[in-house]
């Protein structure tokens, strides 16, 4: 029993010493936009921690990564500024997630202390809407009824929120207008087609985001009007051989009647 008690006390003492030597503070959070230049000031970490600037050098302050090999920020030990260390591309790091938070750690020695830093990266409008293709082909029969709908592949934007695709514009024309739903874009037939007068139609579709400055992307929609069997064959002129046969038959009929 004495051995177990001694071991327990020893463990407790070691744990307390470790806690004293390695103190973990709460998070410090900073919010800034992506793609800021190297050296841009994010905030003043000395001021935010409430410590003297000289303490940073004395305690060998440095930024360490948390589960990552990238150091996105660093400390200017002369003035305590936290600055951008390398390019931060929100889309490359977080994709289309609504929130993009990067974790870094501030290490201080004598005593050893860890301060977690959360970098909240805000989106900027640095991407334009894009269609997967430069040209969209659609075949439509001339027998299609007014109001018929034809789906179009949507544009995509790597940015999020208002910087993503917000609206579409279709080139003005008499045959089609655009129907836009929550997750769909459609051409809607406004006037019936007649292949005998119009075989092909090309329209420009533009996707627009809501950023400032606004960005856009375009695609050409090429429509081929397919034939429908809607016309009765008609001779443009009566062949002379048919005329001769008809005259011969008529003469024979007259002879029989006589």
Average pLDDT over residues 10-35: 63
In the chain, the domains with their CATH numbers are 21-122 (2.60.40.60), 135-226 (2.60.40.60)
pLDDT, tens digit (0-9, with 9 covering 90-100), for 129-183: 999 999 999 999 999 999 999 999 999 999 999 999 999 999 999 999 999 988 8
**pLDDT level of residue 230 (50, 70, 90 thresholds):** low
Cβ-contact 131, 153 below 8 angstroms: yes
Residue 44: partners with Cβ closer than 8 Å, 6 or more residues away:
79, 80, 81, 82
Cβ-contact 159, 91 below 8 angstroms: yes
How many residues does this entry show for the chain? 258
pLDDT attached to residue 218: 98
Pairwise CA distance, residues 49 & 102, whole Å = 19
pLDDT attached to residue 235: 57
pLDDT attached to residue 39: 95
Q: Residue 142 phi/psi, 5° resolution?
A: -65, -15
| Cross-strand pairs, 192 | none
10 or 119, greater pLDDT: 119
Pairwise CA distance, residues 147 & 206, whole Å = 22
pLDDT attached to residue 237: 59
Q: Can you read off the two tokens belonging to residue 197?
A: 């007068």
Element of type H or E holding 17: helix 2-21
Q: Can you read off the two tokens belonging to residue 71?
A: 């150091």
Whether 20 has a pLDDT exceeding 50, the answer reads no
């Amino acid at each position: 029993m004495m051995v177990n008690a001694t071991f327990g006390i020893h463990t407790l003492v070691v744990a307390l010493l470790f806690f004293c030597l390695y103190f973990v503070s709460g998070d410090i959070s900073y919010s800034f936009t992506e793609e800021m230049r190297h050296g841009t000031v994010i905030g003043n970490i000395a001021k935010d921690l409430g410590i003297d600037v000289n303490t940073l050098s004395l305690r060998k302050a440095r930024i360490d990564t948390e589960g990552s090999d990238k150091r996105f920020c660093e400390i200017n030990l002369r003035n305590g500024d936290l600055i951008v260390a390398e390019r931060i591309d929100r889309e490359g790091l977080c994709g289309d997630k609504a929130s993009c938070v990067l974790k870094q750690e501030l290490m201080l020695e004598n005593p050893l202390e860890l301060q977690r830093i959360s970098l909240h990266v805000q989106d900027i409008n640095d991407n334009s809407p894009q269609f997967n293709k430069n040209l969209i082909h659609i075949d439509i029969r001339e027998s299609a009824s007014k109001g018929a709908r034809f789906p179009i592949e949507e544009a995509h934007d790597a940015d999020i929120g208002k910087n993503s695709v917000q609206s579409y514009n279709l080139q003005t024309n008499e045959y089609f207008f655009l129907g836009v739903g929550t997750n769909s874009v459609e051409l809607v037939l406004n006037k019936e087609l007649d292949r005998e007068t119009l075989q092909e139609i090309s329209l420009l579709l533009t996707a627009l985001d809501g950023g400032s400055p606004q960005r856009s992307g375009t695609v050409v929609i090429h429509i081929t009007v397919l034939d429908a069997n809607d016309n009765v064959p008609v001779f443009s002129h009566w062949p002379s051989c048919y005329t001769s046969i008809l005259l011969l038959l008529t003469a024979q009929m007259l002879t029989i009647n006589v």
